[in-house]
Amino acid sequence: MLSLVAVSSHSSAESIDIDNYRQLVGDALIDEILHLSDGLKGLRLCNINATASGGGVAELLNREVPIYRALGIEADWRIIHGDKAFFEITKSFHNALQGSEFQLTDGVRQDYLEHNRTCAELLEVSYDIYVVHDPQPAAIRYFHRTRQDKWVWRCHIDSSSPNEQVWEFLRPYIEAYDAAVFTAEPFRPPDLRMDRVAFIAPAIDPFATKNIDLPQNLCRQAIADSGVNLREPLLLQVSRFDPWKDPLGVIQVYRLVKKQRPGVQLALIGAMAGDDPEGWDMLETINAEATADPDLHVFTNLTGVGNMEVNVFQRGADLVIQKSRKEGFGLVVSEALWKEKAVVAGAAGGIPMQFPKGYHQYLVSNAEECAAKLLYLLDNPDEVAAFGRAGRERVRAEFLLPRLVHDQLKLIADLLERGGAQTKA
């Protein structure tokens, strides 16, 4: 059954006070946000994406929407619901925008457009501005025939070298928008023809349950209670079970490390997203590996691992891995760096931009390299501590929520010509 439902994000506007961020990001940025939002009070803003939980977009909207509301903007969040076949198509589009092979048939084209057309018809409320995330609902703008509002397509994917066939199919629907936003300039497909393209990196909320400060001894105790032996080192990857995040490659890395450090353990935490049918097959494979290995721990949202548990594991783990082969941004990297963790990660998409200066040697391109860096860090606690401090400062300066809110409000103000400075086009 197809529907377009409203999501109420987990935190309410009342629980958010923008002034709390001053101590972290400084007065100038917060004052600028207040100035921009003054000109946007009462604005009706609709975010549209494909899932309310699991994955970075849901994570971002859960934090952004309440902030906008707290700033006096009437922000809503709607998700498109589709059947399994639709999400198989859109997951393939997602992968194809990252460059993978896909056979685009007439049937696929028709299914995708039909779902988007129906969603557009269901979108009866009129807003001043729509922000549509990623390819799943991208054609809604084309089918929604109003002209007095503004539409932004927000791409969270590294689409620098997309599958040509899929991109050529999607491109006219995207060019129907007033603006497109990519995480970084290299992610813009070379032949996209639009007047306004902005580059805005995602960010994490330091006050979210996932990132809030927690005492280290409490985290270690909670991890020990879950069956991990903390007398031995714990490696961690938190990610959807997706081939691009390479969880099987992480297991391979852990086995390489284990040859030198037999006590080492690995925790894989993976949320299952509603719009990600591939994840379920992968979970089965990973569980089969874990059943045969008491030092390999697998946790999912299905067994009650939520934001607090992710926070606890990110803080309590000895080293964090993010062995992505492709990555839009990788919020998990900023989350771990914010917690002063050393991270060994794939040199993919939005990951390198998050790394602090002087630590890019921990960006890797294969399992052997990854294992070697982890072994080095396990033997060098001073390097781990310095990396952690530099990582936290990098995230504080560049990747905390107020910077994202500021950049988005600036783009919106500019599109609506309601105050604010001109946004870089």
Tell me if 240 contacts ligand UDP by CB under 6 A: yes
352, 337 in Cβ contact below 8 A? no
Q: How far is the CB of 313 from ligand UDP (least distance, A)?
A: 9
Q: Tell me the number of residues near ligand UDP by CB under 6 A.
A: 19
Of 42-50, 53-61, 134-142, 351-359: span binding ligand UDP (CB under 6 A)? 53-61
Contact 152, 132 (CB under 8 A): yes
Nearer to ligand UDP by Cβ, of 240 and 392: the residue is 240
Q: How far apart are CA 379 and CA 386, in angstroms?
A: 14
Residue whose CB is less far from ligand UDP, 211 or 423: 211
Using rule CB under 6 A, residue 400 touches ligand UDP:
no
The conformational region for residue 49 under phi > 0 = left, psi -120 to 50 = alpha, else beta, is: beta
Q: Considering beta carbons, is residue 172 or 280 the nearer one to ligand UDP? A: 280
Report CA-CA distances (Å) from 239 to 113, 152, 229, 246.
30, 27, 22, 9
Pick the binder of ligand UDP from 271, 367, 412, 415 (CB under 6 A).
Answer: 271
Among candidates 73, 116, 110, 136, which has minimal Cα distance to 276?
Answer: 136
Q: Quick one: which of 25, 56, 253, 345 contacts ligand UDP (CB under 6 A)?
A: 56
Q: Which is nearer to ligand UDP, 252 or 307 (CB)?
A: 307
Q: How many CA atoms lie within 13 A of 375 on its CB side?
A: 16
420 is an interface residue for ligand UDP by CB under 6 A: no
Subset of residues 308 to 347 that bind ligand UDP, contact rule: CB under 6 A: 310, 328-332, 335
Rounded alpha-carbon distances, angstroms, from residue 72 to 69, 148, 322, 338: 5, 21, 37, 29
Q: Which one among 49, 55, 90, 312 touches ligand UDP, defined by CB under 6 A?
A: 55
179: its two tokens: 């603006």
CB of 27 to ligand UDP, least distance (A): 28
Residue 321 vs 378, nearer CB to ligand UDP: 321
Amino acid at the residue 105: T
Q: At what angle do helices 56-70 and 331-338 cross, to 10 degrees?
A: 70
- Residue whose structure tokens are 């994490």: 204
266 binds ligand UDP (CB under 6 A): no
Judged by beta carbon, residue 206 or residue 420, the one nearer ligand UDP is 206
If one asks whether residue 297 binds ligand UDP (CB under 6 A), the answer comes out as no
d(CA 373, CA 257): 10
Residues 375, 344 contacting (CB under 8 angstroms): no
Rounded least distance, CB 281 to ligand UDP, Å = 17
* Nearest distance from C-beta of residue 363 to ligand UDP, angstroms: 16
Which residue from 59, 111, 134, 275 is in contact with ligand UDP, where contact means CB under 6 A?
Answer: 59
36/38 Cα distance (integer angstroms): 5
Closest CA to 250 of 115, 111, 258: 258
**Rg of the chain taking only CA atoms, in angstroms:** 21
Q: Least distance in Å: CB of 340 to ligand UDP?
A: 16
**Site residues for ligand UDP per CB under 6 A:** 55-56, 59, 210, 238-240, 269-271, 301, 307, 310, 328-332, 335
